[in-house]
Chains A and B, each alone.
Chain A
């Protein structure tokens, strides 16, 4: 399992890459994509949509299952990764490049995990 040290993680298996204090990219982790299997559809949200800490803002689908994506903070979607519309498999192939949304105006944030803490959480789930 690949867990880059420079990223932050949520307990619901999203990774977070901060651009500055109130702007960050969000995707799903290597562990999450591996558990889901082949991803075939990403329900891409809209720019301008509000996201709320701890709430689902979209979902994606593998051959086997539907997975909700949760927002680790309150803010606003400022950019979406449109490439995932035609290439959902990018999340399987390269989960840390295949960001789903970029969130700006971040106000409230949940307590995020370091790479080590996230690895420990996944090992406990296995």
Chain B
């Protein structure tokens, strides 16, 4: 199958990005400076990402809210327009079909932002379960998504617009960056202050160029999926297909805060009632021995396998090797020493609290 291209494909080419296949798209994994410099730019200045591969779906109608509350784990009843809420979509067994964020666009209209790799699966699942007066509209192919992340991102955006969402996890529906109409959201996937801008494909190249220009004296760098992954790992944010899949429940993944068991019934609720105290749970590991721990490595305690890693690499800002893992409940206490099988070599790792990295000012 031929790979899809985002509207920023030519921009990536011109910036000498290294392009790789990801979720059916040809995406930049890194630009000329490399993953570590891009990662550090986001932690200390700002980084600019093309994440147009993400899926966007609109749900509209007088029963949109009831459908969301039935399809997803979180409760959207008390949400105001302009707010964003994280949730998971579960199967009947309580396994995670996808994780997503929900934008309340208006009283009877919501936008769901879903993982590119799950887009078609999600839409089929949603369509199969919709009821009442509601319509689904997949707008993914018309919408570009550009993320500007980092402590200087607000300052850079302020040179181009005077209307920005002030609170974390809120958005402005009909905003402008200079003459470009867009939705500006204060959100992201890096653990830093940041913004995500949704706009029509036709404006994507222009906005990307203007943002790079607005940040050029402050150290902005274009960032690829490589840095996106190291940043989210360092900030201990789960990624679908790693910390979550259809065999892992939200409680095992440590995402119980986004599951509202006391709202009306939702898909997976019955199964989750008996799974509220899981036998395995997501933990953080700091590698103490020499080496890098990656995903799908077996985790041991006293010679017995107690779990498996779900993500891991070198974290550039913390300057060390870190991993997340799903392990037996008995091994989850911070300070517990475990061993990881790194291609036949056992290396020591310590259970540490999540997140590995937290920027306090980002959680405004």
Contacts and interface: CB of A to CB of B under 8 A. Distances in A.
B292 A40 contact: yes
Contacts of B29: 64
Given A63-B36, A63-B226, A63-B230, A40 B291 contact: no
B292 A64 contact: no
Contacts of A79: none
Interface string B285-312: 0000011101000000000000000000
Majority DSSP secondary structure for residues of B touching A: mixed
Contacts of B230: 63
Contact of B291 (A38, A43, A64): A43
A41 B36 contact: no
Given A37-B226, A41-B314, A41-B321, A61 B35 contact: no
B185 interface: no
Contacts, number: 41
Given A63-B230, A63-B316, A38 B34 contact: yes
Candidate in A37, A40, A59, A63 with the most chain B CB atoms within 10 angstroms: A63
Contact of A63 (B18, B35, B290, B343): B35
Contacts of A43: 290-291
Given A63-B36, A63-B316, A37 B30 contact: yes
Nearest to A92: B34
Contacts of A38: 34-36, 316
What's the interface size class on B, roughly? Answer: 10 to 19
Interface in A19-38: 37-38
A7 interface: no
Nearest to B294: A66
B187 interface: no
Interface string B29-66: 11000111000000000000000000000000000000
Nearest to A89: B36
Contacts of B343: 59, 66
Contact of B313 (A59, A63, A85, A92): A63
A59 B291 CA distance: 10
A119 B18 CA distance: 20
Nearest to A68: B343
Contact of A37 (B35, B291, B321): B35
A85 B291 CA distance: 10
Nearest to A65: B294
Contacts of B34: 37-38, 92
Interface string B223-247: 0001000100000000000000000
Contact of B35 (A41, A59, A64, A85): A64
A55 to B, nearest CB: 15
A43 B316 CA distance: 18
A64 B321 contact: no
A25 to B, nearest CB: 23
Contacts of A63: 35-36, 226, 230, 313-314, 316
B195 to A, nearest CB: 25
Nearest to B34: A38
A44 to B, nearest CB: 9
A65 to B, nearest CB: 9
Contacts of B290: 41, 43, 85
Interface hub of B29, B36, B316 (most chain A Cβ within 10 A): B36
Nearest to B320: A40
Nearest to B314: A40
Interface in A44-86: 59, 61, 63-64, 66, 85
Contacts of A59: 343
Contacts of A61: 291-292, 314
A63 B319 CA distance: 12
Contacts of A40: 36, 292, 313-314, 321
A70 B363 CA distance: 47
Nearest to B345: A43
A97 to B, nearest CB: 19
Interface of A: 37-38, 40-41, 43, 59, 61, 63-64, 66, 85, 92
14 contacts: A37-B18, A37-B34, A38-B316, A40-B36, A40-B292, A40-B314, A40-B321, A41-B314, A59-B343, A61-B291, A63-B314, A66-B292, A85-B290, A92-B34
Interface of B: 18, 29-30, 34-36, 226, 230, 290-292, 294, 313-314, 316, 321, 343
Given A63-B226, A64-B35, 6 more contacts: A37-B226, A40-B313, A43-B290, A63-B35, A64-B226, A66-B292
